[in-house]
Chains A and B, each alone.
Chain A
Amino acid sequence: MSIAATPAGRLPQGMTKLLALHWPIILLLVALAGIGWLALYSAAGGSLEPWAGRQMIRFGFGLAVLFAVAMVPIRFWQRLAPVAYLASLALLVLVEFIGEVGMGAQRWIEVGPLTLQPSELMKIAVVWALAAFYARLPVEKVSHPFWVLLALLLILAPTALVLKQPDLGTSIMLLAGGGAVMFAAGVSLWYFLAAGTGGIGLVAIVLKSEGTTWQLLEDYQFRRIHTFLDPSSDPLGAGYHITQATIAMGSGGWSGRGFMQGTQSRLNFLPEKHTDFVFTTLAEEFGFTGSLTLLGLFALVVIFCWLSAMSNRDRFGALLTGGVGTTFFLFVAVNIAMVTGLIPVVGAPLPFVSYGGSSMLVLLGAFGLMQSAHVHRPRRR
């Protein structure tokens, strides 16, 4: 497949580009942000302050970024990929030295009034760079060990840096997101089988390392694993979050306690009810029906991404779209699995619903890239 083969006349131009956007996804994102807005309004006890209003402004700004990015031809973004990757990597190195310590991990860089999380940027930069990498690499070489190793390096370099912060959640998301792009690009299944087996072995070794001189995770990370396995062992300490979250969810039932009637969130039993645990606020107030609807909206976004990717004959665009969809999926899956107690608490927001700007901006930018790929995609005949 070559770029030149795509007839330029088929691509939409000017304002018609707007019509060519993947509007269902945009509408879904707006709907999710609307639900998040309701949750924040409820969590504040029926007030725009302090969260809902600010979140709306951020979303509007992010949406503008999305449109701007979407209007720029996809070739520009493809060429920018290495720059974005290297810049993100450089920022990651930088936080090692000047990063602020927040929540027990070095993650932030202050740039004037902005706080920047290079690890958030990296989540999309890895996918972006790998898509560009495989777009240039001839298809028959994707499973060649050298090129596989090079792709792995692209993933592992930032993963190692993030793990050092230490941020286990983001590390896993980088691995999974990058791995998904490699998988989609057609890297031989044997590599994945080997990696899967190796991964399980590594987890076993990591768990075994606890309390030894060569301990591989921080104490607090082990503690999180332990309280995850048995939250009731420490109901007022580290297990408090997850215990209260499951109570909030479980008390919702089929139809929920009603909007602004959730006692767990309204009476502040629910920690982080407006950020990482916002899903439980909604689940408590709108019940299983509400949870399932929300989950369905998220799933639709992912499905639309993959449909767009599979209909895109441009390899970079397709891989990027699949990668963005997967990253989005990972955000959702990690957050919901965490708040429902399926995985340990790692600290990951629910995209577009949780209060917070950093990850929402990055994701809206990523969806801008995906939209650009969609708008400028070579159509199948």
Chain B
Amino acid sequence: MKPASGTGRFTRRGLMLLGLQAGVVGALAWRIHALQVVQNEHYRMLAEENRISIRLIPPARGLITDRNGIVLAENRQNYRVVMIREQAREPEAVLDRLATIIDLPLEARTRALRAMETSAAFVPVTVVEFLEWDAIARVAANAPVLPGILTEVGLSRHYPDGFNTAHVVGYVGPVSERDLEGLERPDPLLRIPRFQIGKNGVEQRLEERLRGEAGQLRLEISAAGRVMRELGRVEGTPGEDVTLTIDQGVQAYAMERMEGESAASVVMDVRTGDLVACASSPGFDPNSFVFGIRSGEWNRLLNDEYRPLSNKTVSGTYPPGSTFKMVVALAALEAGLVRPGDTVSCGGHTNLGSHRFHCWRRGGHGRVDLRRSIAQSCDIYYYEMARRVGPDGIAAMARRLGLGVRHDLPMSAIAEGLMPDRAWKRAARNESWTTGDSYNYGIGQGFSLASPLQLAVMTARIATGRAVKPRLVRAIGGADVPLAPAEDLGLNPDWLHRVRDGMYAVSNDGGTASRSRIADPANLLAGKTGTSQVRRITAAERAAGIRSTDQLPWALRNHALFVAYAPYDRPRFAIATVVEHGGGGSAAAAPIARDIMIRALYGPEPPLEAWPPEQREEIERRRNPAPEAGQPEDTPDRT
């Protein structure tokens, strides 16, 4: 045996193994080089992404004010109590102690304890929120005996005059999955828990402007999510403030005046189109929506037959009834199919084939010219005019005056209404237009539908002869929304004057609304009443002695309408009021509209002289409820 051969072979084999192992080490070194040197930047970035968490600081939402700067939507400080489990040590004992200091519902306690069990020990868990300042002060004062309890302050939306302005301003609510659907790249703010966005009205339609931009808080976090330190902070931009055209005083008065009715009133400045009031009664409190409405209250609002949640000023559509007669008159005059002095004989009814069409006055009006037709609201005259003009001419004039078209405003659920013509009936019903349809069209019944907003626009356009456009936003972010001068409608000024004269007569010359006139000669009203049929009185009901729909159940009674503008000689405001199932326009709608108009014209304390002498006593009584009545707290809001 030669030792040399064995050791020589061992050395060879050893060197081979060493070489192999050195090769592996080389490969490892090469790999480490690739990771650490070649791809360093890439991994450095990933490490930074790992460690830095960017938290968004919610911006303060823009304020919404009325035209005079009265705040309609603001941000209130929302005080809440949070608890950190690891600092509390004995959460249950600490919560028991907390309950002796503030009102702590059992439900909140259970929820907090459950949340603390399921989250990391260092995560703050909200125990109660929306605390009053003095409650939070008591918690702060007792901090030494409440380990792990912290007080935090956030912002939450508040509507100081919510009940009166809810339909216009809308409300905010927590972001839902449905809000995120359809957004290609949703603002990361929307992912913040408890963040709120506009759900309705101006809050929703001007969401982007009101929201503002988030600030950023750069935090270093551990893998478990614990915040190690703050690395930097960039403040966000608050949302833009929005100034509405609404006058809170007029709006609140309108709501008060319509109390107890299912009604809507729109007051418009005819010179600018500014909506001074957009009131839908009954109202609701938008503050209860801000943090999720209770189901009981929600159901009550939903099931109320007066539909408090609906903004009837723009979403409610009604047959315009006799308020439509100015449109038909203008259509006939413009087409040269009638002259103001031409008369139509009204015998109380007219026959069309076998069908009899009635005038509202059974005995008839006798010979009726344009002025009287408006003043007395003669139906026979308008059956005849509608027959002469035909549906297409009426629809065209209606649209020129702002009916049957959607006015784009930052409000929710704005209805288009309906101004039918031959093509519409063919398309919608697959029937041809009949003369009977025209008759109904002539008195604003049948298929036609209009919203109070559209009726106000119509009135403003008749009053000015210009294509006034409604406007709800006066300024955003401090910059005034530019006001384009309204174009002339191109209607014959003489015809317009004749129609306005008819409206003057309605209010001031023995017309249908003369009881609801303005007595002050400087601010005379020019109006038109309307009563739109919800349902005909059936033969059976007639046989049972029912003569008027007022005797029917509420939901079957006629809608009462009134449109007007004032002052007659230099128009300032137009108003449209609809009282759902209120009965006759002159009795139910005209007094309300007149009072709101007075409030708009004269301000908070109109002189008694504005009212007709015979009504002043009652107005005074309404203003100063008799103290000897014994229950002064019943009418605390009336001034």
| A283-B22 CB under 8 A given contacts A263-B47, A313-B7 | no
Task: Identify the closest chain A residue to B39 (Cβ).
Answer: A250
Kindly specify which of A24-32, A56-64, A95-103, A285-293 makes contact with the partner chain.
A285-293
Q: Are A253 and B40 in contact (CB under 8 A)?
A: yes
Q: Are A340 and B28 in contact (CB under 8 A)?
A: yes
Judge if B37 is at the interface, Cβ distance under 8 Å: yes
Q: Are B6 and A315 in contact (CB under 8 A)?
A: yes
Kindly specify which of B10-18, B57-65, B257-265, B538-546 makes contact with the partner chain.
B10-18
Chain A 298-324 interface mask (CB, 8 Å, partner B; 1/0): 110011001001100101001100100
Q: Point out the residue from B21, B31, B35, B36 that lies within 8 Å of A326, measured CB to CB.
A: B21
Number of A-B pairs whose CB atoms are under 8 Å?
143
B203 to chain A, nearest CB (A): 38
Q: Are A291 and B31 in contact (CB under 8 A)?
A: no
Task: Identify the closest chain A residue to B3 (Cβ).
Answer: A1
For B291, what are the chain A residues with a Cβ–Cβ distance below 8 Å?
A: none
Contacts of B475-495 to chain A: CB distance below 8 A:
none
CA distance A329 to B43 in the complex (A): 28
| A267-B32 CB under 8 A given contacts A139-B6, A333-B24 | no
Q: Are B46 and A250 in contact (CB under 8 A)?
A: yes
Q: Are A183 and B28 in contact (CB under 8 A)?
A: no
CA distance A298 to B13 in the complex (A): 21
Kindly specify which of B88-96, B216-224, B382-390, B559-567 makes contact with the partner chain.
B216-224
Chain A 268-288 interface mask (CB, 8 Å, partner B; 1/0): 110000000000000100011
Q: Are A251 and B43 in contact (CB under 8 A)?
A: yes
CA distance A298 to B29 in the complex (A): 12
For A216, what are the chain B residues with a Cβ–Cβ distance below 8 Å?
A: none
Q: Are A251 and B28 in contact (CB under 8 A)?
A: no
Chain A CB count within 10 A is highest, among B6, B10, B25, B27, for: B10
A148 to chain B, nearest CB (A): 15
Judge if A246 is at the interface, Cβ distance under 8 Å: yes
Task: Identify the closest chain A residue to B47 (Cβ).
Answer: A251
Judge if B44 is at the interface, Cβ distance under 8 Å: yes
For A264, what are the chain B residues with a Cβ–Cβ distance below 8 Å?
A: 47, 50-51
CA distance A23 to B498 in the complex (A): 121
CA distance A342 to B5 in the complex (A): 39
For A319, what are the chain B residues with a Cβ–Cβ distance below 8 Å?
A: 10
For A158, what are the chain B residues with a Cβ–Cβ distance below 8 Å?
A: none
CA distance A313 to B8 in the complex (A): 10
Q: Are B17 and A250 in contact (CB under 8 A)?
A: no
Q: Point out the residue from A1, A247, A295, A302 that lies within 8 Å of B29, measured CB to CB.
A: A295
For A252, what are the chain B residues with a Cβ–Cβ distance below 8 Å?
A: 36, 40
Q: Are A247 and B50 in contact (CB under 8 A)?
A: yes
Task: Identify the closest chain B residue to A5 (Cβ).
Answer: B3
| Chief secondary structure at chain A's binding surface | helix
Judge if B9 is at the interface, Cβ distance under 8 Å: yes
Q: Are A183 and B44 in contact (CB under 8 A)?
A: no
For B352, what are the chain A residues with a Cβ–Cβ distance below 8 Å?
A: none
Q: Are B228 and A288 in contact (CB under 8 A)?
A: no
Judge if B194 is at the interface, Cβ distance under 8 Å: no
Contacts of B309-329 to chain A: CB distance below 8 A:
none
Q: Point out the residue from A138, A186, A302, A315 that lies within 8 Å of B21, measured CB to CB.
A: A302
Chain B CB count within 10 A is highest, among A246, A249, A313, for: A249
CA distance A329 to B221 in the complex (A): 38
| A292-B32 CB under 8 A given contacts A247-B50, A254-B37, A313-B3 | yes
For B13, what are the chain A residues with a Cβ–Cβ distance below 8 Å?
A: 183-186
Count how many chain A residues have C-beta atoms less than 8 Å from C-beta atoms of the other chain: 48
CA distance A264 to B14 in the complex (A): 40
Task: Identify the closest chain B residue to A244 (Cβ).
Answer: B50
For A184, what are the chain B residues with a Cβ–Cβ distance below 8 Å?
A: 10, 13-14, 17
For B429, what are the chain A residues with a Cβ–Cβ distance below 8 Å?
A: none
CA distance A309 to B11 in the complex (A): 8
For A288, what are the chain B residues with a Cβ–Cβ distance below 8 Å?
A: 32-33, 36-37
Interface size class of B (residues with CB under 8 A): 35 or more
A33 to chain B, nearest CB (A): 20
Q: Are A292 and B29 in contact (CB under 8 A)?
A: yes
Q: Are B43 and A246 in contact (CB under 8 A)?
A: yes
Judge if A130 is at the interface, Cβ distance under 8 Å: no
Judge if B294 is at the interface, Cβ distance under 8 Å: no
Q: Are A267 and B220 in contact (CB under 8 A)?
A: yes
Contacts of A226-276 to chain B: CB distance below 8 A:
244, 246-254, 263-264, 267-269
B18 to chain A, nearest CB (A): 4
Judge if A150 is at the interface, Cβ distance under 8 Å: no
Task: Identify the closest chain A residue to B24 (Cβ).
Answer: A333
For A248, what are the chain B residues with a Cβ–Cβ distance below 8 Å?
A: 47
Q: Are A267 and B50 in contact (CB under 8 A)?
A: yes
For A310, what are the chain B residues with a Cβ–Cβ distance below 8 Å?
A: 10-11, 14-15
| A333-B47 CB under 8 A given contacts A139-B1, A288-B33 | no
Q: Point out the residue from A183, A247, A283, A298 that lies within 8 Å of B46, measured CB to CB.
A: A247
Q: Are B46 and A253 in contact (CB under 8 A)?
A: no
Q: Are A267 and B5 in contact (CB under 8 A)?
A: no
CA distance A20 to B33 in the complex (A): 38
Q: Are A253 and B37 in contact (CB under 8 A)?
A: yes
Q: Are B44 and A295 in contact (CB under 8 A)?
A: no
Q: Are B32 and A295 in contact (CB under 8 A)?
A: yes
Q: Are B1 and A340 in contact (CB under 8 A)?
A: no
Q: Are A329 and B6 in contact (CB under 8 A)?
A: no
Chain A CB count within 10 A is highest, among B6, B9, B16, for: B6
B10 to chain A, nearest CB (A): 6
Task: Identify the closest chain B residue to A290 (Cβ).
Answer: B36
Q: Are A336 and B28 in contact (CB under 8 A)?
A: yes
For A326, what are the chain B residues with a Cβ–Cβ distance below 8 Å?
A: 17, 21
Q: Are A263 and B36 in contact (CB under 8 A)?
A: no
For A186, what are the chain B residues with a Cβ–Cβ distance below 8 Å?
A: 6, 9-10, 13
For B28, what are the chain A residues with a Cβ–Cβ distance below 8 Å?
A: 295, 333, 336-337, 340, 342
| A283-B36 CB under 8 A given contacts A295-B25, A295-B29 | yes
Judge if B185 is at the interface, Cβ distance under 8 Å: no
Judge if A180 is at the interface, Cβ distance under 8 Å: yes
Contacts of B36-83 to chain A: CB distance below 8 A:
36-37, 39-40, 42-44, 46-48, 50-51
CA distance A247 to B11 in the complex (A): 41
Q: Point out the residue from A250, A263, A318 that lies within 8 Å of B40, measured CB to CB.
A: A250
Chain A CB count within 10 A is highest, among B27, B46, B222, for: B46
For A299, what are the chain B residues with a Cβ–Cβ distance below 8 Å?
A: 22, 25
For A337, what are the chain B residues with a Cβ–Cβ distance below 8 Å?
A: 28, 31
CA distance A345 to B42 in the complex (A): 23
Q: Are A269 and B51 in contact (CB under 8 A)?
A: yes
Contacts of A71-125 to chain B: CB distance below 8 A:
none
B123 to chain A, nearest CB (A): 16
For A246, what are the chain B residues with a Cβ–Cβ distance below 8 Å?
A: 35, 43
Q: Are A263 and B10 in contact (CB under 8 A)?
A: no
For A183, what are the chain B residues with a Cβ–Cβ distance below 8 Å?
A: 13, 16-17
Q: Are B43 and A250 in contact (CB under 8 A)?
A: yes
CA distance A52 to B198 in the complex (A): 57
Task: Identify the closest chain B residue to A298 (Cβ).
Answer: B25
Q: Point out the residue from A180, A253, A268 that lies within 8 Å of B36, measured CB to CB.
A: A253
B17 to chain A, nearest CB (A): 6
CA distance A295 to B228 in the complex (A): 33
Q: Point out the residue from A138, A251, A268 that lies within 8 Å of B223, measured CB to CB.
A: A268
Contacts of A163-221 to chain B: CB distance below 8 A:
180, 183-186
Query: What 8 A-B pairs are tightest by C-beta distance, nearest first?
Result: A250-B43, A251-B47, A268-B223, A288-B36, A267-B222, A253-B40, A1-B3, A269-B223
- A sample of 28 inter-chain contacts (CB < 8 A) reads A1-B3, A180-B17, A183-B17, A186-B10, A186-B13, A244-B50, A247-B43, A248-B47, A250-B35, A250-B42, A251-B43, A263-B50, A263-B220, A267-B51, A283-B32, A288-B36, A288-B37, A295-B29, A295-B32, A303-B18, A306-B14, A310-B15, A322-B14, A333-B21, A333-B28, A336-B28, A336-B32, A340-B31
In the complex, besides A269-B223, A309-B10, 14 extra interface pairs with C-beta distance below 8 angstroms are A180-B17, A184-B10, A244-B50, A251-B44, A251-B46, A254-B40, A269-B222, A288-B32, A288-B36, A299-B25, A306-B18, A315-B10, A340-B32, A342-B28
